[in-house]
Amino acid sequence: MGVRPWLLTGLVALTIGVFLLVVAIGSVQIPLDQVIRVLLGGEADSRAWTNIILKIRLPKALTALLAGAALSVSGLMMQTFFRNPLAGPFVLGISSGASLGVALVVLSVGTVGSALMAGFGFTGDLMLTVAATLGAAGTMLCVLIVARRVESGTTLLILGMMFGYMTSALVSLLLYFAVPERIQAYINWTFGTFGGVTWDQMPILAGGILIALGLAFTQAKSLNALLLGESYARSLGLNLRMARIAIISATGILAGIVTAFCGPIGFVGIAVPHLCRALFNTSDHRLLVPASAFMGGIVAMLAALIAEVPGNNLVLPLNAVTAFIGAPVVMVVILRQRNMARSFGA
């Protein structure tokens, strides 16, 4: 048995440990044994601790775990699909497309429509998710169409950023004509948070992410073949059309559903796949996909923990924290870009 399965096992154990810490640490400190007792179905010594764990911290920790896994696997697939180490849902405008979908629903319906949508409950949440997913998938399709005509990865990145700017411009127009209450709500949403998902919304978030992650796992061999280039992948018998549809669908759902519920979370999708490649020293997606899922969950939960500022009632914008974690990783990637050529077959 090689060292890599042990590393993956260690990641799983670390995921469980960080998950327990996120549930235990906050403005109110709860002993770990009390947390474990409540998670196993028991009651904590204090009724307030039980309520805090079950109603606030458990859904937040689950959201961070799922969102981190979704963004990381989405980023991994995009980096391989475009054979570009700097690709990611945020950089290529995919998150901006999802933001546009949310903005179209939240801002264009106005105050009356928002109250009506909130009254729909499960249906309203589902509408928001579908809008974000369609926005993300639409933007990725535009990038993909352009990618067929552009060979330079740098050019593609710039074009992806332009797609992001265009969708941001549309959002700005919607903001200009929206009522002040919806503008403030939208701005708060753009800060990003893992703490806004309720138990009623959790089935949509968890169900969508787990289905898309399952689809991503099935594409591991296709992603390995795409590392060698489309021509070589086709010579290996890969159905490129089906592989593209599966990868775009999985990426659109993963980025879209996280953006709908948590806001546009930056840097996790681009930074975590590089951390996994460095840790496991491999480009085999049969290992990188699960590793990115667990590592993404760990990074997102740590970001949520830092944003909460333990022992204080202050809550920092989540996007600011992920930028502090992810930006140094991206800078290292750029400085070591020559060494990335082997991983991307360039």
User: DSSP states of 45-61 as a string?
Assistant: SSHHHHHHIIIIIHHHH
**H or E stretch covering 78:** helix 58-81
CA distances in angstroms from 172 to 22, 108, 178, 196, listed in the order given:
35, 12, 10, 24
pTM for the structure as a whole: 0.83
CA distances in angstroms from 288 to 140, 163, 201, 221, listed in the order given:
22, 28, 29, 11
Mean pLDDT by 10 residues, the chain (346 residues): 79 94 88 91 88 92 94 90 76 76 70 47 66 77 73 68 82 79 73 84 90 92 85 81 81 83 84 87 90 94 85 78 79 65 54
- The CATH class of 5-344 is mainly alpha
The pLDDT score that the predictor gives to residue 215 is 92
The pLDDT score that the predictor gives to residue 1 is 52
In 3-state terms, what secondary structure has residue 333?
helix
Alpha-carbon 86 to chain mean position: 15
Query: Which token pair is 183?
Result: 């503008």
**C-alpha span between 98 and 103 (Å, rounded):** 9
**C-alpha span between 324 and 90 (Å, rounded):** 15
The pLDDT score that the predictor gives to residue 121 is 56
Which has the closest alpha carbon to 82: 134, 145, 138? Answer: 145
The pLDDT score that the predictor gives to residue 111 is 46
The pLDDT score that the predictor gives to residue 116 is 45
The number of beta carbons lying within 10 Å of the beta carbon of residue 103 is 26
CA distances in angstroms from 337 to 109, 266, 344, listed in the order given:
45, 21, 11
The pLDDT score that the predictor gives to residue 107 is 67
Query: What is the rounded (10 degree) CA torsion for 224, 225, 229, 231?
Result: 180
**C-alpha span between 214 and 192 (Å, rounded):** 25
**C-alpha span between 214 and 177 (Å, rounded):** 40
